[in-house]
Structure 1
């Protein structure tokens, strides 16, 4: 950080402030996303963080790095947002068909996907040797969902300490508590997230990106063909299907198969088109469904696959059509163009 730039920013130079903060913008957005579980909420809180930083820049004493200072502000802005109960209430959509009885109902209906394109631009900040979770692992849906299920300050402790690599003293200072409290919260958070996110799976069993893409293509083939048996053959025995903001969850082959049979029956003769993208470090599919008498197919849900060891252990279908452009997906697909010649054995437009 150049002192001259900081001095200009303190004197009210907005361009100098942008020069100071823009290099940290994407990583702060990811931090807010981990804490809040929602891309739209994270973007809102990032803006609040920058406003607070601009207003408080005169009080920045440079006892820590600018990056640490910004993380302190962002973390506390997230904690303030989490205290507002209203942001946790997401209206439950009414499904267009009668779904089978779910295995369970998930309370984290605000969960949203995160575009990989926003991860690619983050500079390597070289976290310390005590980091416990790799940056890519710490944005997977299972990890983010696990954070949502623990007390907010506990989640903040885990992210600041085990993902970002701040030391115990720094984290205690950021959260305004003691090092002893941080150590206790960290121990409880580690146990909770390890149990919830399936961390026992060795990283080298996830497979290469190319191998996971092949599994995603096989899933897409079966999904377009309404081939329930083909879909189930790709799943681990303990696979989950969830559909935020709909709270329904289905666990295991029988429950997931029953849901797909009902969903495919409702689809009927309408065509489905899939476009590939990436979310939360995993292959994902933007689905589009044709409508009778309409020249375009409209969004039918963004499907994020959790693939490891050549199998799918979780399918998360997000009914958030407004987020499609954030993943490089069009708002609709012309059915004539989408139904053109296929390249290879994959589904249309995939």
Structure 2
């Protein structure tokens, strides 16, 4: 079987590597290579017995040794080896771009690249072909200009897949030290039975009508097929893999973005630790309506193809999202400290970006972003003064 090359930076991606290592066809040392950033990290990895470990509840753990490298693989004649499968569990867009530049010579049109929980910046750059542009340069930002012909000077465009996990599941993993993580007890169903990690896969910009077709392939080298097999060929599977369309993925991400930009942003602005405290905010309902109305005008311009699909109009509409938001307000949900610990995490910035790009009004989202950014800056400056 062809190797899988993995760039991991978080416990979820390491957990998926361990799931792949448990496949019956894997040798003692799995055909999976961890791509590390530099020799310092490689030395640390070798001192850790060349293995990844996830500690489970009840003093259990899963661990496996993996090969590792810091440079592109080459054949004996010095030519670059073909990387058929690459898993990218990196959240930083600049780091993803750096790694793709580094391994550019090994990636071909028949390569499979899986982006695990990519942020909106990464999705935007993939959509514009900017991540594959040789002349893009080292700086990656949404303000970078696009080529008039984005297909010019491109890396042989590989098959790009997106892997999506749930926030509440990601929150259960905690990094203990490099190459070692722990999983909270909340991940248990009953007794010693682990609840598999839900992993939803879709092919970038492709809406495949027959979801089972991709998995009927006998090509064992396909990373997507291997991930599907982890759900059906191992006892007590670590991950539960399902296939969705790109439209379904976008709907889910946009719904999450809209809810976060309303609930988390407003909660932080008014100093609420629980969503239900928002019921005490005067004119909260009117504020939500104003923000939602503006957001839907923006996303309908930003994603016109999506809203030509009936399911998008069914799930992404003001009435439904308003109802979902107030269900959360009337529930017992709370804000975690890491959901909004700096101004880069303010979800409203995306509606500002799309509003500017498509010349749509973004007044309410800008106001919320501006006030919240100021509050975060004030808080950081206060901590600096207290530490002196």
Per the normalisation by structure 2, the TM-score is 0.25
The structure with the largest helix share of the pair is 1
Which is bigger in relative contact order (C-alpha 8 A, separation at least 6)? 1
**TM-score, normalised with respect to structure 1:** 0.27
